[in-house]
Structure 1
Amino acid sequence: MTNHSHDVDPDTEKIEIALLLEGIFRKYGHDFRRYSYSTMRRRVWHRIHLEGLPTVSALLEKVLHDGVLFHRLLRDLVIPVTEMFRDPDMFLSFRRNVVPILREIPYVRIWHAGCSTGEEAYSMAVLLHEEGLLDKTRIYATDISEDALSRAKEGFIPIDRMKLYTKNYQASGGLASFSDYYVAEHGLVMLKPSLRKNIVFARHNLVTDRSFNEFHVILCRNVMIYFDGELRDRVHGLFHESLASGGFLTVGSKESITFTSRSGCYDAFDDRNRIYRKNP
C-alpha cells in the first residue's frame, strides 16, 4: 500500500494532526494533544491506511461524524503493551525491599496508573498474596481505555503467553507455582477471582483527571514515554500530590524522574529498577 504520509508537506501534516487531536478532544473529551508527535503520527497513519483514506484531514472529517470509526482510532492511540511480572527484577526488588516497609502500614493503598488490560495489577496481587499483605491492601487500577478495563475485569490471559508469564513469575521471586493462580479450560486461561477481590478497576485520564486518593505506592510504567515534557511534568505533579510521605513511585525501565521538575522530591530507593521514594 502506498504510504501517502511521505507525500505530505511536513508543516501541513503537523497542522492536520494538531487539528485532528484538537477535534478528538473537543468532540470526545480524550486529550492526546501533548502526546509525543512521532508516536501520534505513526498511529494516525496506521488508521488512515486501514480505512483507505488519503489524508489526515479526511480522517478528521470521518472521526467527527462517525463515533464507531473514532473508537477504532482510539484503540490505535492507546495500544496496550503489558505482561504479567514485566521486568521481573523490579518485582523482585519490590518484594525484597518495599514489602518490609509496607508491612508496617495498617492499610495499604496502591495505584496502578495506566493499567491497560490489568496484568500488572494482577501480578501485584499475586506478590502481595504470597507476602500475606493482600487482605490489608486496596489496589486501584486505572486506565483511559474502557476496552482495556473491561478486559482487565474479566481476568483472562492469552494462552500463548503462559510460558513467558511463568518465566517472569519465577524470575520475580515467586514463592509458589504460577499455575496455582489460574484455571485453564477450553483453550482459555482465567486468573482466579480471589486475586480480584481487592482490585478496583476504574477509568481515569492522567491528562485531564485529578488526584482521587492518597497512596503508599504508585506504579506508572511505560506510559509517560508517550507524553511530551510538559505533560510528563504535569503528571509527575499529580503523582507527587497523590503519594503519602515516604511513599513509593515506580516508573518504566526506560523512564526516569531525573529530568522532571519533581526530581528533587524523591530519593532513588532503587534507581536500577526505577523505584523512587518520596521525601518526608
Structure 2
Amino acid sequence: MPGVVLAPVKEAELFDLELKLLLEAIYQRYHYDFRQYAMSSLRRRVRQAMARYDCTQVAQLQHRLLHEPELFAQAMQFFTVQVSEMFRDPDYFGALREQAVPVLRTYPSIKLWVAGCSTGEEVWSLAILLREEGLLERSILYATDINPEALSTAEAGIFDLERMALFSRNYLKAGGKGSLSDYYTGAYNGAVFDRTLRRNIVFADHSLATDTVFSEVHLVSCRNVLIYFNRALQDRAIGLFHEALVHRGFLGLGSKESLQFGAHARAFEACAREQRLYRKVA
C-alpha cells in the first residue's frame, strides 16, 4: 500500500498550531483562558517565554508549564501584559472629573470597577481623584485582574521612586488639586501610598474570559486591556460591562480602543469621544 503523502506545512503554521494546543492545555490544567487573546500579541509573548526558559519549540514550553506549576506562576508575566502608570493619559482623568464626577455626586454611594487593574497604578489614581472630589468615603473600588502577582503588587501600593516624576506630571495634567507627594511617603526605596486610600479598594481575581458580573457599578474603567483580545472576547467583555453598569453608567476605555465596530456599539454613547469615555444608553 503506497504511503500517504502529506502536504508540507509552513513553520509559521506549525507554530500557531502548537500555540493553540498550548493555550488549550493551560486552560485544561490551570483554568486560565487565553484562547481568545489576539494571536499577534500571543506569538510575540510566547516566543519571549521560550527564550526565557530555554525552549526551542512551543511543545517544550508546554511540557514544562504543565509539569511545573511554579514555573507557570512565573510565566504569567508573559501571558498578561503589566504596563501601567499613574494618571496615564491625563485627559482621560480630566474627562472623568468634568463628565463623570458631577453625575456620581448625585448618588448616595458609588461603586467603580477597574477591570484588568494590572499592578494597580490606575486604581490608586482613581482613589486620589475621588478623594479630591469628596467622593472616596462613599465609594467602593473593585480592582480585578487574573495575575496574582500583579494583584499583590497593586494591593501593596508601593511604586518605584524613580517613577514619581512622571506620575506627578500626569497628575497635574489630569487636574490634580495639590501635589502627588501629598499622597505618598518614601520608604524602602519606594513610594508608599497613603493607607487610607486603600480602605475603599477591594482587590480580587476576575477573568473577563470566563467569569461573570459580580456587582452593579456606576463606572467601569477597562483601559488598554481589550487590545489584547480578539473580537469575540472583546464583545464578551463589553457585554459584562454593560450588564454591570447602572442606568446611564460610565465606561472608560484605552486610547487605542473603541466600541465602534463591536456587538455593543449601539449600547453606549460617547460623552468624551477623544478620551474614550462613554455612557450606557438609556
Task: Answer yes or no: same fold by TM over 0.5.
Answer: yes
| Cα root mean square deviation, aligned | 1.1
Shift of 1:177: 1.1
Could you tell me which residue of structure 2 aligns to residue 3 of structure 1?
none
Change (3 A) 1:32 1:186: closer
Does the aligned pair in 2 maintain the 1:44–1:73 contact within 8 Å?
Answer: no
- How many angstroms apart in 2 are the aligned matches of 1:124 and 1:69? 33
1:181 to 180, 183, 186: 183
Per-residue deviation, residues 161-204 of structure 1 (Å, max 9, x unmatched): 01000000000000011110001124221001011110101110
Could you tell me which residue of structure 2 aligns to residue 245 of structure 1?
247
1:16 to 15, 18, 22: 18
Does the aligned pair in 1 maintain the 2:91–2:174 contact within 8 Å?
Answer: yes
2:146 to 117, 132, 144: 144
Does the aligned pair in 1 maintain the 2:208–2:236 contact within 8 Å?
Answer: no
So what's the TM-score if we normalise by structure 2? 0.95
SS in 1 for 2:75: helix
- How many angstroms apart in 1 are the aligned matches of 2:76 and 2:272? 35
Per-residue deviation, residues 6-35 of structure 1 (Å, max 9, x unmatched): xx7111111100000000000000000010
1:169 equivalenced with 2:153 (yes/no): no
Could you tell me which residue of structure 2 aligns to residue 94 of structure 1?
96
SS in 2 for 1:49: helix
1:29 to 17, 28, 31: 31
Could you tell me which residue of structure 2 aligns to residue 120 of structure 1?
122
- How many angstroms apart in 2 are the aligned matches of 1:186 and 1:63? 34
- How many angstroms apart in 2 are the aligned matches of 1:73 and 1:196? 28
Shift of 1:56: 0.5
Per-residue deviation, residues 71-95 of structure 1 (Å, max 9, x unmatched): 2221111121111000000101111
| 5+ long unaligned stretches in structure 2 | 1-9
- How many angstroms apart in 1 are the aligned matches of 2:147 and 2:247? 30
Could you tell me which residue of structure 1 aligns to residue 234 of structure 2?
232
Which deviates further from its counterpart, 73-82 or 209-218? 73-82
Percent identity over the alignment is 44
Does the aligned pair in 2 maintain the 1:155–1:191 contact within 8 Å?
Answer: yes
1:279 equivalenced with 2:281 (yes/no): yes
Could you tell me which residue of structure 2 aligns to residue 159 of structure 1?
161
- How many angstroms apart in 1 are the aligned matches of 2:238 and 2:35? 17
SS in 2 for 1:190: strand
2:164 corresponds to which letter in structure 1? M
| 5+ long unaligned stretches in structure 1 | 1-7
- How many angstroms apart in 2 are the aligned matches of 1:52 and 1:76? 14
SS in 1 for 2:214: coil
SS in 1 for 2:65: helix
Q: Which 4+ runs in 1 deviate beyond 4 A?
A: none
Shift of 1:97: 1.6
- How many angstroms apart in 2 are the aligned matches of 1:45 and 1:111? 32
Shift of 1:37: 0.6
1:59 corresponds to which letter in structure 2? L
Does the aligned pair in 2 maintain the 1:35–1:227 contact within 8 Å?
Answer: yes
So what's the TM-score if we normalise by structure 1? 0.96
Does the aligned pair in 2 maintain the 1:140–1:199 contact within 8 Å?
Answer: yes
Q: Count residues in correspondence.
A: 274
Does the aligned pair in 1 maintain the 2:65–2:72 contact within 8 Å?
Answer: yes
SS in 2 for 1:94: helix
Shift of 1:133: 0.6
Shift of 1:68: 1.7
